[in-house]
Amino acid sequence: MRVFLCAVGLTVLGACTTSVPDSGAGVGFDNYDGYLEDKRARDAQLSGGGALPAPDAVSSESLNTSGATVSDNDAEAIAAEAEAALAEADANSGESVVHASPSNPAPATVNTATGISGENDFEAVGEQRSIESDAALIARNRARYKVVDVEALPSRSGTQEPNIVAYALATKHPVGTQVYNRVGFNKEAKFRRNCAKYASPDRAQEDFLARGGPKKDRLGLDPDGDGYACGWNPAPFQKAVGG
């Protein structure tokens, strides 16, 4: 009876034990190689391309020394870059051209300074000069210093031309202020044509005054009637004497 009960118990335990799956078949797939092939095909479809070749489909001839695939276009680009680098080196006395880049090393500091100047070196100055010598130098400079009083400008001699400096100091109105009446036709065209004959506004003003200006203007050098011919301006002369 005891042997019978043991046999029945073993039978029941055997029925309750689950079977262990075959690990070689993969988890939910036929096998692992099939899973990899399906994954590559799915990734190729998602990226819009065809199926990617298996690793064995890449020949060793299409790999360079680093193991990366190199196409004909890539090879031509690499060759062109190499030729450009050689050309730059030839144009730079054989030295490779350094292009600006944050990764470039800092340039070496070139220090050609030989020290401070003698005027700033207290020891050197102390050997050459003394307090007494500096005091004597200051005294000599003070003896040569002269204060020149402001004097009136001297009148020009030996010429009959009007003195435009004296005229500038005698006038007070600014450029463009009409003081004298001007009449005539085509005043602007006459002004441009005749003013072009003078080498400078100063020469035009001298001739303008010599011909009866500023009251008279036979050549039309002062169409706005301010007494200044061909754009001449008395301000620089007035500022020179503080006017």
pLDDT tens-digit map of 9-22: 555 555 555 555 55
The Cα–Cα gap between 82 and 92 comes to: 15
Residue 22, domain member (yes or no) = no
For 125-149, the pLDDT digits (tens) are 778 888 888 899 899 998 988 877 7
Residue 171, domain member (yes or no) = yes
Query: Is there a contact between 171 and 227 (Cβ–Cβ < 8 Å)?
Result: yes
Residue 107, domain member (yes or no) = no
Residue 167, Cβ neighbours under 10 Å: how many? Answer: 20
Q: How far apart are the first and last CA of the chain?
A: 146
Residue 216, domain member (yes or no) = yes
Residue 16, domain member (yes or no) = no
7-29 burial code (b ≥16 CB/10 A, e <16): eeeeeeeeeeeeeeeeeeeeeee
- Angle among Cα 143, 144, 146 to the nearest 5 degrees reads 100
Beta-ladder partners of 69: 63
222 CB-near residues (< 8 Å, 6+ apart): 180, 182, 208, 213, 214, 228, 229
Number of separate domains in the chain = 1
Alpha carbons within 13 angstroms on the beta-carbon side of residue 214 total 21
Residue 224, domain member (yes or no) = yes
The whole-model pTM stands at: 0.38
Range of the structural domain that residue 169 is part of: 164-240
**Mean pLDDT over each residue of the chain, to the nearest integer:** 76
3-state class of 171 per DSSP?
A: coil
The Cα–Cα gap between 167 and 181 comes to: 19
Residue 203, domain member (yes or no) = yes
Quickly state the pLDDT bin for 104 (edges 50, 70, 90): confident
Residue 234, domain member (yes or no) = yes
